[in-house]
Amino acid sequence: MSCRTSIKAFSLLELLLVLSIGALIIATSVRFYSTSIRDSRVTQAAQDIKVIRQAAAEWVLNQPDYKGGSTNCTTAPNNCISMTALNSAGLLPKSISDGTGTTPWQTNYSIAPNSTNATQIDITLSSITSVKNCINLKNLLSKQAISIKPSDCTMVDLTTPFQFTVTFG
């Protein structure tokens, strides 16, 4: 009397097929996640720059002696536009505050009078390390800005991050 039992199991081929489909799904998800994180950081930076611009416009209205680029920040620090001045006036949200380490990449925002036109201001976001981030940020801000530097968003040296400067009037 022989009793034969049959064992049912997955073949090696079936197992490899399931694992490869799982790996493909994971790889696609990781790529989608990275792209959405990058895009959300660029969008947040563009919104922050717009908030800083609005705060600067309000600050300038409240400074009757402000002369723009001709203001000497050393001799007249209370009449010099800066992230500290905007924050001290209560014009910036806590998420931006004085601009130190508050960009979506944990780098700095700064604001200064434009060096060639006293009626304009420059808002700078330091250390953008991706050409895609630069291009996307430039596209989001190009309609409101007078000029954006770098103008071409090409990275000559990959170890040197962008100083992204937006000039508003």
Q: What is the CATH number of the domain that holds 113?
A: 3.30.1690
pLDDT at 2: 64
| Strand partners for 157 | none
Nearest to 46, CA basis, from 128, 154, 119: 128
Q: Is the pLDDT of residue 22 over 90?
A: yes
For the residues 35-47, what does the mean pLDDT come to?
87
Q: Which domain holds residue 83?
A: 14-168
Is residue 88, in this structure, part of any structural domain at all? yes
Is residue 3, in this structure, part of any structural domain at all? no
Does residue 137 or residue 19 have the better pLDDT?
Answer: 19
Query: Does the reported pTM lie above 0.85?
Result: no
Q: Is the pLDDT of residue 21 over 70?
A: yes
Give yes or no for a cis peptide into 93 (omega within 30° of 0). Answer: no
Is residue 78, in this structure, part of any structural domain at all? yes
Nearest to 123, CA basis, from 103, 105, 106: 103
Is residue 117, in this structure, part of any structural domain at all? yes
**How open is the CA angle 132-138-163, to the nearest 5 degrees?**
80
Is residue 28, in this structure, part of any structural domain at all? yes
Q: Is the pLDDT of residue 25 over 90?
A: yes
Give the integer Cα–Cα distance in Å for 149 and 59: 24
Domains held by the chain: number:
1
In sequence order, the 6+-apart residues with CB closer than 8 A to the CB of 134 are 128, 150, 153, 155, 162, 164
Give the integer Cα–Cα distance in Å for 161 and 165: 13
Question: What is the bridge-based pairing of β-strands 147-149 and 121-128?
Answer: unpaired
Q: Which of 26-30, 39-43, 88-92, 158-162 has the lowest mean pLDDT?
A: 158-162
What's the first-to-final CA gap in the chain, in angstroms?
Answer: 97
Residue-wise pLDDT for 151-167, tens only, equals 777 755 545 556 677 77
pLDDT at 158: 46
Q: Is the pLDDT of residue 147 over 70?
A: yes
Is residue 22, in this structure, part of any structural domain at all? yes
Is residue 2, in this structure, part of any structural domain at all? no
Is residue 4, in this structure, part of any structural domain at all? no
Residue-wise pLDDT for 101-124, tens only, equals 888 888 888 888 887 887 788 888
Q: Is the pLDDT of residue 69 over 70?
A: no
In sequence order, the 6+-apart residues with CB closer than 8 A to the CB of 110 are 82, 83, 99, 123, 124, 126
